[in-house]
Structure 1
Amino acid sequence: MCGIAGLFDTRSDETPNRDLITAMTDALTHRGPDESGIHLEPGVALGHRRLSIIDIASGQQPLFNDDKSAAIVFNGEVYNFAELRPELEELGYRFHTNSDTEVILRAWEVWGCECVKRLRGMFAFAIWSQKHRRLFIARDRLGIKPLYYALLPNGHFVFGSELKALLPHPSLERKRDACAIEEYFAYGYIPEPRSIYAGVHKLPPGHTLVIEKGQKSLPRPSKYWDIPFADNGITSIADAEHELIERLRQAIDIRLVAEVPLGAFLSGGVDSSAVVALMAGMMDQPVKTCAIGFDVPEFDETAYAREVAERYQTDHQTDTVKADDYELVDKMGWLYDEPFADSSAMPTYRVCEAARKRVTVALSGDGGDENLAGYRRYRMHMAEEKLRGMFPAGLRRALFGPLGALYPKADWAPQFLRAKTTFQSLARDSVGAWFHSVSRMTDGQRRRLFSQSLSNELGGYNAVQVLREHAQHAPTDDPLSLVQYLDLKTFLVSILHKVDRASMAHSLEVRVPLLDHLLVEWMSGLKPEWKLVGGDGKHLFKRALKPLLPDDILYRPKQGFSIPLAKWFRGPLREKYRQLVLSEAMQDSGLFNVDYLRQLQAQHDSGRSDHSVVMWELLTFALSQQHLDAA
C-alpha cells in the first residue's frame, strides 16, 4: 500500500522541478513510510511512497519496462497477479520482480487501457508512455483506493493519492466549488467527481483517464465497469446461501497473501464476524483480531467481538476509547483535507491505530450492508415505496407535501411521533425520497445556512442531482436494487474514503473481501426479495452464516461506531464550535448566514433541539478550511 503523485507538462518538455515533485510525494509519507522513489524526465515527474507488503526486496517504484519507455506508480494490491503472470510470460514478457506492480505494467503493454478489466483488486495507478507522450490513470471498480487530479492553468496535469499531494504546486487554484459545498452539507462528504476545489477532481470508481501532450482541455474519464444487477441464474435460496459463502471464502483466501503480519478488524457485527470466521478456517495460526470498545455501555460492542474471538480462538485485542476522546477532532482537517462529516472517522482512526501495533495488513467487513441490503433505511424506503405506489404522484404531493411542511420536527418526541420526515418523503418521487432519507440537512436548512452570495453562485443547483445522474445510468429499476446501486456509487465510496485515510494515517493496509468485484457482481444478481425480508436486512447472508455464527451476532440490532456528539456540543466542543465555526475566518468566507450559525448553537444548548449532526458538519468544514488555508 502506497502513495502516488505526479506531474505531466502537456505544453513543454521542460523537466519539472525536483523540489516540487519531492514535496508532492513527501506529503504522502504517512501512506508509505518504507521507501521513496522519484523519477524525472523532460515533461514528466513521478513520485512514490512505499509501504512494503509484497516483494519487499525488489518492488521499488517508479517501475520501468525493459527499454525504459514506460513507467508506473501504483497504490493498492492486485490479487490475481500470480495468475496473469504466466499468461504474460507466454507472450514473451520477462519479469524482473515478483511484484504485482510489474504485472500491471506488462498487462498495459499487452492490452493497453483495457488492462484494468483483467485486474482483480484495489488500485489507483498512473502509467507514463514516453513513446506516445501520454499518461494513463486508473482507479479500481468500487473506489477502495483514491485518486485526485487537476489540469492547471499552466498546462501541468497533476495527480495524487490525496488532495494534500496537489497542494504544493504553486499554480493550483484554491477556489472553492459552490456545488461541492452544497453536496457536502447534504451528504456529509463530497461525492465523486467533485472535490472542495473547483479545479480538482476525484477520478470516479471504475474509470480511467488518458491525457496526451498538447491537449488543451481536460478529457472526460472513461467508464470500464459498473455493477450489473443482472440475474445471476440462482433459483434456489439454499444454492444461493452455499455459493455466497464459497465465493466469500475465495475472496478472503486471495487476500491472505502478504510478507508482513496480517489480521482483521472484529467489531462483533455480522460482516466482520463472517470474515474472521472464514479466515480462521484458512490460516495455520490464530487470526490476529482487533476491536475498539467505548467506556460508555450504550456505545460498546466488545462483548460480541469477544464472543466471536473466543469461538474461533483468535489472538484478540481490545482497545478502549474514552467517550471524551474529542481531542482527536483537531486531526480531522489534516487527515481528510476536504470536509468530511462522518463522526465514526474518529473511532475508525483509533481502531486502525490499535491494529497497526500488531499487523501491517487488516481485513475488514465493509461492503456487506450496501451489497446485501443491511441498512435500516432500506426497510424504511421499501415501506414508503408501497405507500407511494397507492397514490398518484400529484395526489401524493398535494396530500403529503403540506403535512410534511406543517408537522413539527419534534426531535424531543418519541420515535412514533416523528412523522415529519415520512410525510416529506411520501410527497417525493423515489430518488427524491431516497435523497431526503440520506441527507444530513434538509433543503430548507441548507437554504437558511447559506449566504445569499453562495445561493446566487449555486444558481438553483441541488445536491439531489448527484443521485439523479447515477439513477439515469442504473442497470435496474427494481426499487430495492436501485437504492443499493445509489449507495454503492456514493455512500459506500465515502466509507472507503474514511477507512483509506484513517488506515493510511497509520501506514496500515486494509483489504475488503466483500468488495471483491466478482463477488459484488454476483451478489447484485441475487433476487432482491432474498436480501430484505420484512424487517430483516441481509436475510440471505444471515441464513448462510448460521453454521458459523450464533443468532445473537446475526440478529442483534445494527449499531456501528458512534460517538456522543450531542453531549460534546453542550460540553467540551461548545467552545471549539464558537472559536472555529463562529470565527472571523468563517464569517469572512462569505459562505454562511452567521445568525443561523449562532442560532444552531443556542437552540442546541437549550436542550430542546439536537443540532449535533449539522454542527458537526460545520465544525469539520471549518477544520478543513483551516488546514487547507494553512497548507
Structure 2
Amino acid sequence: MCGIAGIFHLETAKPVEPARLRKMTDSLSHRGPDGSGIWTAPGVGLGHRRLSIIDLEGGAQPMLTADEAQVISYNGEIYNFQDVRVELESLGHQFATSSDTEVILYAWRQWGVDCLKRLNGMFAFAIFDQRTKQLFLARDRLGVKPLFYAPVSDGSILFGSELKALLANPLLRREPELRAVDDYLAFGYVPDHISLLKGVKKLPAGHYLLLEQGKPEPAPIQYWDMDFSQRNKASASALEDELVALMKDAVSARMIADVPLGAFLSGGVDSSAVVALMSEKSRQPVKTCSIGFDQASLDETSYAKQIAERFKTDHRARTVAADDFGLIDRLADHFDEPFADGSALPTYRVAELARENVTVALSGDGADEALAGYRRHVFHHAEERVRGLIPESFRGPALGWLGKVYPKADWAPRPLRAKSTLLSLARSGPEGYAEAVGVTTPAGRHAIYSDAMAKQLDGYRGEARMIDLMERAPARNGLDQAQYADMKMWLPGDILTKVDRTSMAVGLEAREPLLDYKLMEFAAKLPTNLRVRRGTGKYLMKKAMERYLPHDILYRPKMGFVTPIAQWLRGPLADEARAISGAGALARMGWFDQQALSKVADDHIAGKADNSRLLWQLLMLDKSLQRLFSL
C-alpha cells in the first residue's frame, strides 16, 4: 500500500520540476513511511511513497522495465500477480523482482489497456509509456484505492492518491464547487462524481484514463461494471457451497504478504466470517483486534471475544472513552474533503491498534453491499412490493398527504414511525431510496441555505445522481437498483474512503476479501429471496456461514461502529456547534443563513430536537473549509 503522485504535460513536453513533484509526494508520507522516489522525463514526472508489503528489497518505485520504455507508480495489491506472472513468462517476459508492481508493467506492455481484465486486486496506478508518450491511469473495479486528478494553468494534469497531493502544487486553483456542498449535505460525504474543489476530478471505480501528449484530455473509459440483470438458477445448497468457496479463495489470496498480517474483528457477521476462514487457512493463530467503548450500549467487544475464543486467535482489545472526540481535527486533515460518517473515529482507533502488531489487516467490508445486508435494503425491498400493489395514481397523492400530516415520532417504537415510510411510498422507488440513504433532505438543506446559495445552486439536487444510477442500472427490480447505486456511489464514496484514509493515516494496509470482484459478480446474480428473506438481509451468506459461526453472531441485530455524537454536541462540543453560525469558515463563505444555523444549534443543545447529524455535517464541513481555503 502506498501513495502516488505525478505531473503530466498534455500539450508540450515541458520539463517537470523535481522539487515540486517531491513536495506532492511528501504530502503522502503517511501512506508510505518505508521509502520514497521520483522519476522525471520531458513532460512527465512520477512520484511514489512506499509501504513495503511484497518483495521488501526489490519493489522500490517508480519502477522501470529493463529497457526503460515503461515506468510505473502504483498503489495497491494484485492478489493474482503470481498467476499473471507465469502467463507473462510463458510469453517471453523476464522479471528482475518478485513484486506485483513489475507484473503490472509487463502486463501493460503485453496487453495494453486489456491488462486490467487480468488483474484481480485493489489498485490505482500510473504508467508512462515512453514509446507512445501515453500516460495510463487506472483504478480498481470497486474503487478500493483512490485517484484524484486535475488540469492546471500550465497545461499539465496533476494526479495523486489524495487531494492533498494536488494541493501541494501551487498551480492548483482553489475554488469551491457549490454543487459538491449539496451532495455532501445530502449524503454525508462528497461522492466520486464531484469534488469540493472546482476542476478536481476523481477517476471513477472500474475506469481508466489514457492521456497522450499533443492530444486533449479524454473522458475516462469504463472497463468493468456490475450486472444485476441475470439470475443464477442453481439450487440454494449449491449456491451456498459456491459462495463459501469464493469467500475462501478471496481470503486466501489476501493472506499473501511478506510482513505481519492480521484482521479487524468487530464480532459482526462479516468480520467474524473473514476470521473464521483465515483461521482455517493459517497454521498460526490469526492476530485479531477490536475496539470497545466504555459505554455499554455502544460496545460489541463481548461478541468479538466470543469469536476470538472460538477460533483461538491472538486477540487484542482496547477500550476507548465514549467522549473520544479528540480525533476530529486529525481526521479532517486526513480526509481533506468533508466526511461526516461518525464511524471514522472508531475505525481510526482500530487501525491504530492493529498497526501496533501488523502491517496488513483484513476487514469484513463489502458483504452488505454485495448481499443486501443493510436494513435500508430490507425496507426498500418491502416498500417496492407495496409500490407494486398500489397504482401510482393513487399512491402519490394519498400516501403523500398522509405522510405530510402524520406526526414525526423519532421517540416512538419503530412500527409507529410511519411518516418517512409514507413519504417514501408516495415517491418512485429511486426517489424514495435516494432520500432514505441520505442524511439531510432537500427541504432540510434549503431551510438553512442563504438566498444567494439557493440561487447559485439553481435547482441542483444531490439526490439526482443516485436516482439516475438506479434508473439506469442493469437490474431486474428495486433491490437490484438500490444495491447497484450503493456499489457505485456509497461504497467508494463513504465506506472505502473511510477505510482507506483511516488505515493509511497510521501506515496500515487494509484488505477487503468480501469485495473480490468474482464474489461480487456471483452475488449480483443471486435470486432476490437469497439476498433478502423474511426481513433478513444477507440471507444466503448467513445460511452458508452456519457451518462456522454461532447463531447469536449470525442473527443478532446489526450494530456497526456507533459514536455518541448527539451527546457530544450538547456537551463538550456545544461551543463548536454554536460557533458554526457566526465565527467559523461556514459563516465567511456566505452559503448559509446564520439565523437558521443558530436555531439548529440552539434547538439541539436545549434538547428540543435531535439535529446531531446535520450539526456534525456542518462541523466537519467547517473544518474542511478551514484547511482547503485557509479560512
Q: Is the 8 A contact 2:400 2:423 kept in 1?
A: yes
**1:541 Cα deviation from its structure 2 partner:** 0.8
Letter in 2 for 1:519: L
Paired residues for 1:460-475 under 5 Å: 460-475=459-474
2:141 aligned with 1:141? yes
2:592 is aligned to 592
2:500 is aligned to 500
**1:424 Cα deviation from its structure 2 partner:** 1.1
1:285 is aligned to 284
**1:230 Cα deviation from its structure 2 partner:** 4.8
Paired residues for 1:27-426 under 5 Å: 27-216=27-216, 218-231=217-230, 233-426=232-425
Q: Is the 8 A contact 2:13 2:213 kept in 1?
A: no
Return the alpha-carbon distance in structure 1 between the equivalents of residues 349 and 628 of structure 2.
24
Give a deviation string over 1:502-552, Cα, whole Å, max 9, x none: 000011001110000011111111111111101111111111111111011
Give a deviation string over 1:468-493, Cα, whole Å, max 9, x none: 33224311122211111111111111
1:626 is aligned to 626
Return the alpha-carbon distance in structure 2 between the equivalents of residues 601 and 414 of structure 1.
26
**1:449 Cα deviation from its structure 2 partner:** 1.8
SS in 2 for 1:308: helix
Return the alpha-carbon distance in structure 2 between the equivalents of residues 183 and 619 of structure 1.
16
2:455 is aligned to 456
SS in 2 for 1:484: helix
1:612 is aligned to 612
Q: Is the 8 A contact 1:232 1:522 kept in 2?
A: no
Question: Which stretch of the first structure deviates more once superposed, 223-232 or 427-436?
Answer: 223-232
1:26 is aligned to 26
Return the alpha-carbon distance in structure 2 between the equivalents of residues 366 and 89 of structure 1.
34
Q: Is the 8 A contact 1:143 1:496 kept in 2?
A: yes
TM-score normalised by structure 2 residue count? 0.98
Return the alpha-carbon distance in structure 2 between the equivalents of residues 547 and 507 of structure 1.
35
Q: Is the 8 A contact 1:412 1:608 kept in 2?
A: no
Give a deviation string over 1:376-423, Cα, whole Å, max 9, x none: 111111221122222222322211222223333333444333222112
2:514 aligned with 1:514? yes
Return the alpha-carbon distance in structure 1 between the equivalents of residues 132 and 471 of structure 2.
36
1:565 is aligned to 565
**1:242 Cα deviation from its structure 2 partner:** 1.2
**1:426 Cα deviation from its structure 2 partner:** 1.0
SS in 2 for 1:490: helix
The 1:176–1:267 alpha-carbon spacing in structure 2 relative to 1, beyond 3 Å, is same
Return the alpha-carbon distance in structure 1 between the equivalents of residues 435 and 405 of structure 2.
17
Give a deviation string over 1:110-139, Cα, whole Å, max 9, x none: 111111111000000001112222111000
Question: Which stretch of the first structure deviates more once superposed, 148-157 or 414-423?
Answer: 414-423
2:482 is aligned to 483
Letter in 2 for 1:429: S
Structure 1 residue runs of 5 or longer lacking an equivalent are none
Question: Which stretch of the first structure deviates more once superposed, 320-329 or 467-476?
Answer: 467-476
Return the alpha-carbon distance in structure 1 between the equivalents of residues 128 and 168 of structure 2.
21
Give a deviation string over 1:238-287, Cα, whole Å, max 9, x none: 11111111110011111111010000000000000000001001101000
Q: Is the 8 A contact 1:234 1:240 kept in 2?
A: no
Q: Is the 8 A contact 2:336 2:628 kept in 1?
A: yes
Q: Is the 8 A contact 1:333 1:625 kept in 2?
A: no
Give a deviation string over 1:195-231, Cα, whole Å, max 9, x none: 1112001111000011111234x32110000112254
Return the alpha-carbon distance in structure 2 between the equivalents of residues 443 and 391 of structure 1.
26
Letter in 2 for 1:374: G
Residues paired across the two proteins, number: 630
Return the alpha-carbon distance in structure 1 between the equivalents of residues 601 and 415 of structure 2.
27
1:428 is aligned to 427
Question: Which stretch of the first structure deviates more once superposed, 604-613 or 464-473?
Answer: 464-473
Q: Is the 8 A contact 2:10 2:155 kept in 1?
A: yes
Letter in 1 for 2:211: I
The 1:581–1:348 alpha-carbon spacing in structure 2 relative to 1, beyond 3 Å, is farther
Return the alpha-carbon distance in structure 1 between the equivalents of residues 452 and 170 of structure 2.
28
Return the alpha-carbon distance in structure 2 between the equivalents of residues 11 and 223 of structure 1.
25
Percent of pairs with identical residues: 50
Letter in 2 for 1:56: L
Return the alpha-carbon distance in structure 2 between the equivalents of residues 630 and 555 of structure 1.
48
Moved over 6 A (4+): none
1:13 is aligned to 13
Q: Is the 8 A contact 2:294 2:319 kept in 1?
A: yes
The 1:233–1:402 alpha-carbon spacing in structure 2 relative to 1, beyond 3 Å, is closer
Q: Is the 8 A contact 1:411 1:610 kept in 2?
A: no
User: What is the CA RMSD across the aligned residues, in angstroms?
Assistant: 1.3
Q: Is the 8 A contact 2:35 2:49 kept in 1?
A: yes
Give a deviation string over 1:535-593, Cα, whole Å, max 9, x none: 11111111111111101100100000001111111001111223345325321201111
Letter in 2 for 1:481: D
Q: Is the 8 A contact 1:332 1:623 kept in 2?
A: no
SS in 2 for 1:57: coil
Return the alpha-carbon distance in structure 1 between the equivalents of residues 90 and 382 of structure 2.
56
Give a deviation string over 1:42-100, Cα, whole Å, max 9, x none: 11111000000000011010011122121110000001110011211122111111110
SS in 2 for 1:135: strand
Return the alpha-carbon distance in structure 1 between the equivalents of residues 313 and 188 of structure 2.
36
Paired residues for 1:529-608 under 5 Å: 529-580=529-580, 582-608=582-608
Return the alpha-carbon distance in structure 1 between the equivalents of residues 323 and 398 of structure 2.
45
SS in 2 for 1:143: coil
Question: Which stretch of the first structure deviates more once superposed, 166-175 or 556-565?
Answer: 166-175
Letter in 2 for 1:348: T
Letter in 1 for 2:271: S
Give a deviation string over 1:161-216, Cα, whole Å, max 9, x none: 00000002222111111111111000101111211112001111000011111234
SS in 1 for 2:284: coil
SS in 2 for 1:72: strand
Return the alpha-carbon distance in structure 1 between the equivalents of residues 442 and 423 of structure 2.
11
Letter in 1 for 2:416: L
Structure 2 residue runs of 5 or longer lacking an equivalent are none
Return the alpha-carbon distance in structure 2 between the equivalents of residues 264 and 520 of structure 1.
21
Return the alpha-carbon distance in structure 2 between the equivalents of residues 585 and 630 of structure 1.
9
Return the alpha-carbon distance in structure 1 between the equivalents of residues 323 and 471 of structure 2.
44
Question: Which stretch of the first structure deviates more once superposed, 444-453 or 2-11?
Answer: 444-453
